[in-house]
Chain A
Amino acid sequence: MANLGANDLKKRVKILVDGEPHLIVDADFVKPGKGQAFTRCKLKNLLNGKQFEKTYKSNESAEETTVSVTEMEYLYNDGTTWTFMDMQSFDQHEVPKETLGGIELFLLDNTKCEVTIWNSRVIEVTPPNFMVLTVTEAPPGLKGDTAGGRVMRPAKLETGAEVQIPLFVNEGDKIKIDTRTGEYVERANG
């Protein structure tokens, strides 16, 4: 892929650092006093999520890299890998549990996810922002936590996810949760 000069390192561009894909979260041209210029980048390692700063000299360069995002359907898992199917090609991809970063707790059979691939490797799976899931275990409210005025109690969902739910929600109810935060949003009809 193209080699980018320090001046072309801009926000949202993806580059390789030590052979791994990184997203440039922010980049700024920096020229302290009388001396050479640098491009100071905030980078995020797309494999492990780590964020750090890296400063490039004006005559340095970085190799650009790309990731592709495809829609895939979740099929099943065996406890260690989760299998997804590309709806266009019908290729199946086995994704290690660690790569999912906890979102596996929001997946139902055939849930459609956005899968980010780099170098033929799945590096991120993003479920829909909201999922409707059934409450399977919800012991009656003991002394609930008051969070922002709502009185909440712990519950378990059909996927194994643990969430806080309001007192008026019972076992068997379907609820809508925000997969980005893992929080209860509202009861779901039907």
Chain B
Amino acid sequence: MKIKWAKFRRDRMQDIRSFFYQRDCLEVEVPLMGRAVGSDPWLDYYHTEHRAGEKLYFHTSPEFFLKRLLAQGYPDIYYLGPTFRKGEHGSRHQPQFTILEWYRRDQSLEDLLKELLDLIEKINPYFKRERLKKKSYAELFSPLAVNVFDDTLVDLQNKIREWEGKSPEFFDRLEALDYIYATRVEPELVSEEVLIVTDYLPEQAALAQIEVNSEGRQVAKRFELYLNGVEIANAYQELTDAVEQRRRFVDDLEKRHQLGKDIPPIDERFLEALQEGFPSCSGIAVGVDRLLMIISGQKDLKEVISFDFDEW
């Protein structure tokens, strides 16, 4: 990476910190490793040992630690630092990347979106928030005549076969939707300068609440921001129900088992914190390296970090 970009990066990190300082959001540090880790079936994690048999996991997101702090009574907080995703390396992925994650008590997703746009404006004066478009996850698929709620796995495979001559095998209809998203939806998003995607499927809710949309469908209270087709941020209205959260973790672990993946421990201390009294809040995670990549007009993360994974 050229020194010019290192200075650019330093300046933008400074901007991010002063943004939150001015808005009374407290920066906190959290361990990079934990005794448990996220259960998402599609996220792989690194692990190490403290002592023989005492496994520690590098977090795939600081979420669990941050939420424990919130439950302890911390004010609005943020984390700006590394997180880890095993096996992810490409033009938009590095196994270690810089994540910015913050939580706002008693704020809606709309409020959080506004704050996200304010932040982007601060680090990029050329940002045109009025170019923002909003689409639901379902809308992204409708030009392909795919119904994300009702199409079965067989329906989706038939459509793929129509387009490509044959269809890969899929574990379930979610996987088929992911494939269609990766091959046909995401490449089109590059023409949208600023896009918010909302109303994800309830199965994609992870740690977000679920609500019913205007058409009576269950959707996740979640949005993602895309800049020039690159996913930059992921925001949730956070789930506060410990029972529901545990149920989702168990579902995840079952799926991991079916996929032949490692089964991590459930984060009991996190669930305890949810149980004891977790405030109503919304939270958001931003891929900082990606954001810097976009605002500096680059096409590969390695341009805005010191060492690409291939050069470690």
Chain B residues 75 to 119 lying within 8 A of chain A, measured CB to CB, are 87-93
Known: A7-B87, A28-B91, A60-B168. A33 touches B179 (CB 8 A): no
CB contact between B88 and one of A37, A55, A57, A60 (< 8 Å): that residue: A37
Inter-chain CB contacts under 8 Å: number: 61
Contact A32 B90 (CB under 8 A): no
Contact A36 B168 (CB under 8 A): no
Q: How far is the CA of A180 from the CA of B227 in the complex (A)?
A: 39
Contact B91 A38 (CB under 8 A): no
A182 to chain B, nearest CB (A): 33
A72 to chain B, nearest CB (A): 36
The tally of residues in A whose CB lies under 8 Å from a CB in B reads 17
Verify if A47 is at the interface (C-beta below 8 Å from B): no
A70 to chain B, nearest CB (A): 32
Q: Collect the chain A residues with CB atoms within 8 Å of residue B307's CB.
A: none
Q: How far is the CA of A89 from the CA of B42 in the complex (A)?
A: 53
Chain A residues 150 to 171 lying within 8 A of chain B, measured CB to CB, are none
Contact B93 A35 (CB under 8 A): no
Contact B178 A35 (CB under 8 A): yes
Chain A residues 38 to 68 lying within 8 A of chain B, measured CB to CB, are 38, 40, 53, 55, 57, 60
CB contact between B204 and one of A31, A34, A38, A53 (< 8 Å): that residue: A34
Q: How far is the CA of A167 from the CA of B32 in the complex (A)?
A: 73
Verify if B228 is at the interface (C-beta below 8 Å from A): no
B216 to chain A, nearest CB (A): 24
Closest residue on chain B to residue A55 by CB atoms: B183
User: Chain A 1-38 against B: per-residue CB contact (8 Å), 1 yes, 0 no?
Assistant: 00000010000000000000000000011111111111
User: Chain B 166-179 against A: per-residue CB contact (8 Å), 1 yes, 0 no?
Assistant: 00100000110111
Contact B42 A34 (CB under 8 A): yes
Verify if B40 is at the interface (C-beta below 8 Å from A): yes
Residue of B175, B178, B200 most packed against chain A (CB within 10 A): B178
Q: Collect the chain B residues with CB atoms within 8 Å of residue A55's CB.
A: 179, 182-183
Closest residue on chain A to residue B178 by CB atoms: A35
User: Chain B 26-40 against A: per-residue CB contact (8 Å), 1 yes, 0 no?
Assistant: 000000000000001
Q: How far is the CA of A28 from the CA of B186 in the complex (A)?
A: 13
**Interface size of B as a range:** 20 to 34
Chain B residues 142 to 188 lying within 8 A of chain A, measured CB to CB, are 168, 174-175, 177-179, 181-183, 185-186
Contact A32 B182 (CB under 8 A): yes
Q: Collect the chain A residues with CB atoms within 8 Å of residue B182's CB.
A: 30, 32, 38, 40, 55
A144 to chain B, nearest CB (A): 43
Q: Collect the chain A residues with CB atoms within 8 Å of residue B224's CB.
A: 33
Q: Collect the chain B residues with CB atoms within 8 Å of residue A53's CB.
A: 183
Closest residue on chain B to residue A60 by CB atoms: B168
Contact B175 A32 (CB under 8 A): no
Q: Collect the chain B residues with CB atoms within 8 Å of residue A37's CB.
A: 42, 87-88
Q: Collect the chain A residues with CB atoms within 8 Å of residue B210's CB.
A: none
Q: Collect the chain B residues with CB atoms within 8 Å of residue A7's CB.
A: 87
B283 to chain A, nearest CB (A): 15
Q: How far is the CA of A36 from the CA of B42 in the complex (A)?
A: 5
Known: A37-B42, A37-B88, A55-B183. A32 touches B168 (CB 8 A): no
Verify if B291 is at the interface (C-beta below 8 Å from A): no
Q: Collect the chain B residues with CB atoms within 8 Å of residue A38's CB.
A: 178-179, 182-183
B237 to chain A, nearest CB (A): 16
Closest residue on chain B to residue A29 by CB atoms: B90
Contact B181 A34 (CB under 8 A): no
Q: How far is the CA of A34 from the CA of B207 in the complex (A)?
A: 12
Q: How far is the CA of A32 from the CA of B88 in the complex (A)?
A: 12
User: Chain B 211-233 against A: per-residue CB contact (8 Å), 1 yes, 0 no?
Assistant: 00000000000001000000100
Chain A residues engaging chain B, CB cutoff 8 angstroms: 7, 28-38, 40, 53, 55, 57, 60
Chain B residues engaging chain A, CB cutoff 8 angstroms: 40, 42, 87-93, 168, 174-175, 177-179, 181-183, 185-186, 200, 204, 206, 224, 231, 234
| Top-7 shortest CB links A-B | A29-B90, A35-B178, A38-B182, A28-B90, A55-B183, A36-B42, A32-B181
What are 20 A-B pairs with beta-carbon distances under 8 A?
A28-B91, A29-B88, A29-B90, A29-B93, A31-B42, A31-B88, A33-B200, A33-B231, A33-B234, A34-B204, A35-B177, A35-B178, A35-B181, A35-B204, A36-B178, A37-B42, A38-B182, A38-B183, A53-B183, A57-B179
